[in-house]
Amino acid sequence: MTASAPIRVMLVDDHTMVRRGLATFLYVFDDLELVGEAADGDEAIQLCVRVLPDVVLMDIVMPNIDGVTATRAIRQRFPTVQVIALTSFAEEELVQNALQAGAIAYLLKDVSADELAQAIRAAHAGRGTFASEAAQALAHAAVQPPPPGHDLTAREQAVLALIVEGLNNTEIAARLVVSPSTIKSHVSHILRKLGVSSRTEAAALAVRHRLIP
């Protein structure tokens, strides 16, 4: 790698001392080059336009525009730019959100300099690297059952919303301008998908799990 152009790296973190430490780390490696620093997600998006880095080290929890939102925006506008989430948190939701936004790697800030350098090189080559805590969070998410109502269709959600309002099949049919037999079929599907035996249970589950707007 040292025989070719260095990997252009951009730092995004709202803490000045963290950016300073990361900048110092980058200077140690001949194949890594610091091309810009940003203090929040909005600044990161704007800076990315100007410097077009190869890899972004992105903090996740930041004021204004957070790292997940910034990652999504950067990946949509600049698909060749790889983003490494570099944060202090490994909560399951944060890990999933960062990867769904387009981050190729998820590391914690206690990572060693050599490990981070290797992760940057891997990201530049299109390979992901994950802290053990992040990998565990992903594994845990993978074995969780899907939330109730995940497979409801848009029409079934509309019918469920009217069930919550207390409407009967005839009233729902009139509201949606379909036949009562069609609504009866929808209600049957809704009860089966939610794993309940009555409209009252379906309504309670919908409210408890916020299945309707």
Q: What does the pLDDT read at residue 93?
A: 85
User: Does residue 198 sit within a domain?
Assistant: yes
User: Does residue 213 sit within a domain?
Assistant: no
Kindly state whether residues 185 and 88 are assigned to the same domain. no
The average pLDDT across 11-35 equals 95
Q: What does the pLDDT read at residue 3?
A: 60
Kindly state whether residues 50 and 98 are assigned to the same domain. yes
- The pTM of the whole model exceeds 0.85: no
SS3 per residue for the chain: CCCCCCEEEEEECCCHHHHHHHHHHHHHCCCEEEEEEECCHHHHHHHHHHHCCCEEEECCCCCCCCHHHHHHHHHHHCCCCEEEEEECCCCHHHHHHHHHHCCCEEEECCCCHHHHHHHHHHHHCCCCCECHHHHHHHHHHHCCCCCCCCCCCHHHHHHHHHHHHCCCHHHHHHHHCCCHHHHHHHHHHHHHHHCCCCHHHHHHHHHHCCCCC
User: Does residue 147 sit within a domain?
Assistant: no
Say how many domains are in the chain.
Answer: 2
Kindly state whether residues 138 and 158 are assigned to the same domain. no
Kindly state whether residues 120 and 32 are assigned to the same domain. yes
> Mind listing the pLDDT tens digit for each residue in 74-106?
999 999 999 999 999 888 888 889 999 999 999
Kindly state whether residues 32 and 61 are assigned to the same domain. yes
Kindly state whether residues 22 and 121 are assigned to the same domain. yes
User: Does residue 148 sit within a domain?
Assistant: no
* CATH number (domain holding residue 35): 3.40.50.2300
User: Does residue 81 sit within a domain?
Assistant: yes
The average pLDDT across 171-175 equals 95
User: Does residue 178 sit within a domain?
Assistant: yes
User: Does residue 16 sit within a domain?
Assistant: yes
> Mind listing the pLDDT tens digit for each residue in 43-78?
999 999 999 999 999 999 998 899 999 999 999 999
Q: What does the pLDDT read at residue 52?
A: 96
* CATH number (domain holding residue 165): 1.10.10.10
Instruction: For residue 61, give its domain range.
Output: 7-142
> Mind listing the pLDDT tens digit for each residue in 123-146?
999 999 999 888 887 776 655 567
Kindly state whether residues 204 and 117 are assigned to the same domain. no
Kindly state whether residues 194 and 105 are assigned to the same domain. no
